[in-house]
Amino acid sequence: MRHSAEVNLTSTGVSNMTNDEGRKPEGTPERSPKAGAGVPSGVDVNRPKRNSVRRKLAVVARLLRGEPLELVARETNVTVAKLTEWRDRALSGAATSLKERERDDRDDEIARLKSKVGEITMDNELLYAKIAAMEGKRPFAHRRSRR
């Protein structure tokens, strides 16, 4: 006797096989509700979802030491594009860091010069006050030239 069977997919993607009467055929093995709904092959389930800064630095260091990009990508389970992005960001950060050091020397010089300008400004203010005191609070008379 021949029975027709339907295959229905549940919301988890697991097939649910039933006969015309809505029952499972005899001899059908019991399956886990998550069977077949796993992660695609080739993806490491134990890999952390986010990569820490420490891990990124370690991977970029391997690339900078000269290890092949494809090999590092395979071993770390990170795409080549993502590794390239990490390497480029690390190098630009290093360049920025080196520029900061040069700017520090300039900042010291700027601070020294600003201090000197402040001293000169104070000297000028004191001299103007001294002149005002000597004149008796009135300015020098403005005269025309004799020519």
CA atoms within 13 A on the CB side of 126: 6
pTM above 0.85, yes or no: no
- Of 40, 38, 34, 43, which is closest to residue 15 (Cα–Cα)? 34
DSSP state for residue 137 in the 8-state scheme: S
CB contact at 8 A, 14 and 31: yes
Residue 41, sorted as left (phi over 0), alpha (psi -120 to 50) or beta, turns out to be beta
Q: Find the helix packing angle between 69-76 and 53-64, rounded to 10°.
A: 150
> Which pLDDT band, with edges at 50, 70 and 90, does 41 fall under?
very low
Write the pLDDT tens digit of every residue in 70-105.
999 999 999 999 999 999 999 998 888 887 666 677
